[in-house]
Amino acid sequence: MVISILRCLHLYFTLEIMLAMASAPARFLLGLKLEPQFNNPHLSTSLQDFWGKRWNIMVTNILRPTVYNPLFRFSTRLLGPQWAPLPSVFGAFVVSAAMHELIFYYMGRLRPTGMVSCYFILHGKLFDGRFRLPPLVSRPLTVGFVVFSSFRLLVPELIRCNVDVRSFEEYAALGAFVKDIGRTLAFSSFKAMLRAEVASGGIRATGRGVRGDYRLLVNLSALLTY
């Protein structure tokens, strides 16, 4: 249970960090401020509030004009405006389910089990904003249902695709890359300081080698092993 919670938190914070890293260059280079992708999802009072206003807002803004609005116009002619939102919302969740099945397939190259689709179709069936409860009651119910259904349907698929293992491998590779950059910069600093000392006479280069301040050489050598 604890490990599953940590996996969910890891997924959430990974998405937050990735989107923050993508928005930073756009802000500094182009002067653009990207729309935040999450809006305190832990404060959701319903599935409609969670999926429509708080979780992965970019995808919501994509599905609304491309899937929901066309289905809503078509359903309005067939069912009337009162019932048109139901098939429209369900259709958007079906498209989202297909997209996530494809994403999971590319992550693990494993045969789909349908659990990811069940997750989104289940949420699409229960997506109804007509029934309102006090936030004190609806908030823990909504968050609890999202977390519980994720544990049962999404997290097992993430484990099957070894997403957590691959993430830690990528973190290790990133750490090694940063460490190599640090060593390269340290070596460049060492050479620059050595040239400066030779030019100033602090170290004299002769045919038999380099002679000078021993303490300085020790300090410069320490840069290479930092």
pLDDT in tens, 152-162: 898 888 888 88
Residue 53 and residue 28 share a domain: no
In a domain, 197, yes or no: yes
* Position with higher pLDDT, 198 vs 188: 188
- What is the mean pLDDT of the segment spanning 10-25? 71
Residue 220 and residue 114 share a domain: no
Residue 44 and residue 147 share a domain: yes
- What is the mean pLDDT of the segment spanning 30-46? 82
- Predicted confidence at residue 117, as pLDDT, reads 93
In a domain, 168, yes or no: no
In a domain, 167, yes or no: no
- Predicted confidence at residue 210, as pLDDT, reads 47
- Predicted confidence at residue 205, as pLDDT, reads 47
Which residue segment(s) compose the domain that 15 sits in?
1-34
Residue 47 and residue 4 share a domain: no
Q: Could you give the number of structural domains in the chain?
A: 3
- Predicted confidence at residue 194, as pLDDT, reads 64
- What is the mean pLDDT of the segment spanning 45-71? 91
Structure tokens at 122: 């289940």
- Predicted confidence at residue 99, as pLDDT, reads 93
Single pTM value for the model: 0.70
Residue 155 and residue 43 share a domain: yes
- Predicted confidence at residue 97, as pLDDT, reads 94
- What is the mean pLDDT of the segment spanning 77-106? 92
pLDDT in tens, 139-152: 999 988 998 898 88
* Position with higher pLDDT, 164 vs 66: 66
Judge whether residue 197 has pLDDT over 90. no
Judge whether residue 212 has pLDDT over 70. no
DSSP alpha helices (H): ranges in the chain? 2-30, 47-49, 57-63, 69-79, 85-108, 115-126, 135-149, 155-160, 163-200, 214-224
In a domain, 170, yes or no: no
Residue 116 and residue 207 share a domain: no
In terms of C-beta density within 10 A (0-12 exposed, 13-18 middle, 19 or more buried), how is residue 157 classed? buried
In a domain, 166, yes or no: no
Judge whether residue 221 has pLDDT over 70. no
- Predicted confidence at residue 211, as pLDDT, reads 46
Residue 118 and residue 205 share a domain: no
Judge whether residue 222 has pLDDT over 60. no
Residue 204 and residue 145 share a domain: no
Average pLDDT, the chain: 79
Residue 1 and residue 93 share a domain: no
